[in-house]
Amino acid sequence: MPDTQIVFLLSMPRAGSTLLQRLLMGSGVCKSVGEPSFLLRFLGEGDPILRASTYSEALVETAIQDMRKSWSGFDSAYRRGVHDLAVSIYNGLADGFPYFIDKTPRYSLIAEELVELFPEAKFIVLWRHPLAVANSMSTTFRDGKWEPHSFELDLCWGMDQLRSICQKHGSRVHQVKYEDLAADPAAELAKLGAYLGIPNLADVADKELKKGNDGQLGDPTGVKKYSKVSPDSIAEWEKGIRNWYREAWVKKYFSGERAEFFRSMGYDLPKNMKEGKVPFGLIDGIKDWLYSSRVMNRRVLRPLGSKRRMKKAAAKRGYHVVYR
């Protein structure tokens, strides 16, 4: 039996990747399991990934450097081993399906390594307005409190890596905009189907979405809220830019070269900001500022998280992973 076609679905978190994953699974030829994530253990040595564990990760990196100096073939052997291990796992998870979708948002951090390591794989990059992503992160993970600083790894570093592979490996990467997918799913799925080699993928647009993604990781809200593709979520994020503190963060983030790239993708400031109609929201803004300051101070004082959390994770798994 031939190997399964591996497909990496890359995006920032909260960009709609679970929706696209569910659509692909609805084709009947694609298998996927939540967010596999396991390649984060093997790739991304050094910054920006910091692994905290019951053993010293710094010692492991030092040992790898020693082996690399001692044997010039270390890197090629290691990468070949990671590749073969991953292919074996994907083939097993596919369970006979011709396609396996690895949808792991944090793979944006190792995007370039993935493209180099898997020359046989297909790559989908799903874009969404970065301010919609920031708003969704705060809504989903912070109970509506505006604290995008905790996600700058994704909003800055991760986004830059995705942009880089699209520019460098354009012929190998198929780009999809969430807004286009939500507005006209049949048209976007037809183009994606042509890239993947899945005829009639556009037919999935009219079907009811799979209820989940066969895993515990993924969008915790959309799978419950939507049974079909809906354009309702395209612009609802704009209401989240509602006070002086949020407006100030957006102006700082949406500037320079980053803003040029956003606009080249068709992403601009929300209408209320361009028209100068964002409410000042003194009290609401102070609440956001206080919450963000508290979180940032906690991160500075305890950059690897609380001792209690580390102890709990270590007792359960023997290690845990955090990100700078």
Task: Compute the mean pLDDT over every residue in the chain, rounded to the nearest whole number.
Answer: 86
The answer on pLDDT for 98 being more than 60 is yes
Q: What are the φ and ψ backbone dihedral angles of 149, each rounded to 5 degrees?
A: -60, -30
132 belongs to a structural domain: yes
Residue 246 counted as domain residue:
no
Q: How far is CA 139 from CA 30, 41, 125, 126, 254, in A?
A: 30, 29, 23, 20, 20
Assess whether pLDDT exceeds 50 at residue 1: no
How many domains does the structure of the chain reveal? 1
The DSSP H or E segment spanning 61 is: helix 57-70
Is residue 260 in a domain? no
How would residue 122 be classed by pLDDT, with cut points 50, 70 and 90? very high
Cis peptide before 48 (omega within 30 of 0): yes
Quick one: CA dihedral 164, 213, 151, 46, positive or negative?
A: negative
Domain extent, residue 138, equals: 5-231
Query: Is 88 within a domain?
Result: yes
Distance CA 24, CA 27 (A): 5
Tens-place pLDDT, residues 31-72: 999 999 999 989 987 665 666 667 777 788 889 999 999 999
Q: For the whole prediction, is pTM greater than 0.75?
A: yes
Whole-angstrom Cα distance, residue 64 to residue 58?
A: 10
| Domain CATH for 118 | 3.40.50.300
Residue 251 lies in a domain: no
Q: Does any domain span residue 294?
A: no
Residues 78-90: pLDDT tens digits?
999 999 999 999 9
